[in-house]
Amino acid sequence: MHDVKNHRTFLKRTKYDNLHLEDLFIGNKVNVFSRQLVLIDYGDQYTARQLGSRKEKTLALIKPDAISKAGEIIEIINKAGFTITKLKMMMLSRKEALDFHVDHQSRPFFNELIQFITTGPIIAMEILRDDAICEWKRLLGPANSGVARTDASESIRALFGTDGIRNAAHGPDSFASAAREMELFFPSSGGCGPANTAKFTNCTCCIVKPHAVSEGLLGKILMAIRDAGFEISAMQMFNMDRVNVEEFYEVYKGVVTEYHNMVTEMYSGPCVAMEIQQNNATKTFREFCGPADPEIARHLRPGTLRAIFGKTKIQNAVHCTDLPEDGLLEVQYFFKILDN
């Protein structure tokens, strides 16, 4: 690997256990020996054919009626071999809903469709795998949830949908539709798309760390948070760079001995930030996360998030706000400063 800027070899061929084949796709950010790299193209035609031939991106949309089942749906997505490359909980305006459902304009149920999709938050995701468009449609099942329960009983719409409109989730039918819809939710121009759902009241911050995201634990963590009685009122995937992480973790600098390793972990891949709401949210959620060291957590608080999903003091599954006065500040950092 050659460093073009400094005209020197950065890395010779070597084994690196933290990088996996599914991480190698155009546009992804990977961390190699503490250096963040953006993958912009294949090295040669052979590599392009081997890795890029059938790789597709498509839109996966969790509708308002299934937001409470987001953990289960994300778990299904991960188990089916998809990589979630973008994720954001959003609230659609009427205009955004009209743009999204433009293909259904002449249908008799069009107004009901628009009304439903704007009744509450949705979660939009960009997901990646071989034959993604076709495979995601297969996982969804028939558009009518009643038909899905008969013809595809294990499908997402059979499990979580109610009827033909309140059918839990959506996926585009074609490559052209996928491109158009992803542009609405995740504009390539760098704009932020539909507004996030952060409320900035009675809140604390939770971040699912990169190692937990890459290990496919996001769905399970969301289910655990919901089952413990917390409300996830905003959620978004971020690829943080070192400067952002150092700014966010500044309070720990010189205080926590693991500070530098904490920083490196947080920008090693995508993380998922959340606004968590409950009374006395910072205190109760910090208790639910458990001690920072998962080994200690497993002995003292075995039901906590870090006890169940953490591996080491650095890779301990989640960050949570420590001080009550920092809850709102940390939520604002992600959902006001980074999301603009």
Annotated catalytic residues are 170
Comparing CA positions, the residue from 233, 226, 216, 229 lying closest to residue 127 is 216
CA 315 to CA 49: how far, in whole Å?
35
Q: What distance lies between CA 162 and its chain's CA centroid?
A: 25
Q: For residue 320, which phi and psi values (nearest 5 degrees)?
A: -135, 155
Other Cβ atoms closer than 10 A to 160: 23
Please return the burial class of 276, using the count of CB atoms within 10 Å of its CB with bins 0-12, 13-18 and 19+: buried
Comparing CA positions, the residue from 339, 320, 160 lying closest to residue 230 is 320
44, 136, 182, 306 from 129: Cα distances, Å:
21, 10, 15, 29
Q: For residue 244, which phi and psi values (nearest 5 degrees)?
A: -60, -45
CA 142 to CA 156: how far, in whole Å?
9
